[in-house]
Amino acid sequence: MKSKTSITLSTTLLEEIDKIVGRNGSRSELIEKAVHEYIHKIARAQRDQRDLEILNRSAKRMNREAEDVLRYQVKL
């Protein structure tokens, strides 16, 4: 389902949009796709940040475990 809305954009931005969509294109479709991609980009960045925080919290413990394992390796 789609809802009609009104937004205000600069003339320059509208001109750029019109260059991309051409005479038969749809501004609405382009803007919808762009906003959708932007929202996914933000969600991905937030997810990556949470993952990084988890890794950083565990880094010291994981490094100690790796060092312990390396001490038991046999050199050939």
- How far is the C-alpha of 30 from the C-alpha of 7, rounded, in Å? 14
Whole-angstrom distance, CA of residue 34 vs CA of residue 28? 10
Cβ atoms of residues 48 and 56 within 8 Å: no
Give mean pLDDT, residues 9-25.
95
pLDDT at 70 over 90: no
Q: What is the pLDDT of residue 21?
A: 96
DSSP state letter for 47:
H
Residue labelled with tokens 């749809």: 26
pLDDT tens-digit readout, 27-52: 999 999 999 999 999 999 999 999 99
Alpha-carbon distance of 25 to 14, in angstroms, equals 13
- Say what the pTM is: 0.68
Token pair recorded at residue 13: 């931005």
pLDDT band at 74 (very low <50, low <70, confident <90, very high): low
What's the pLDDT band for 68 if we cut at 50, 70, 90? Answer: confident
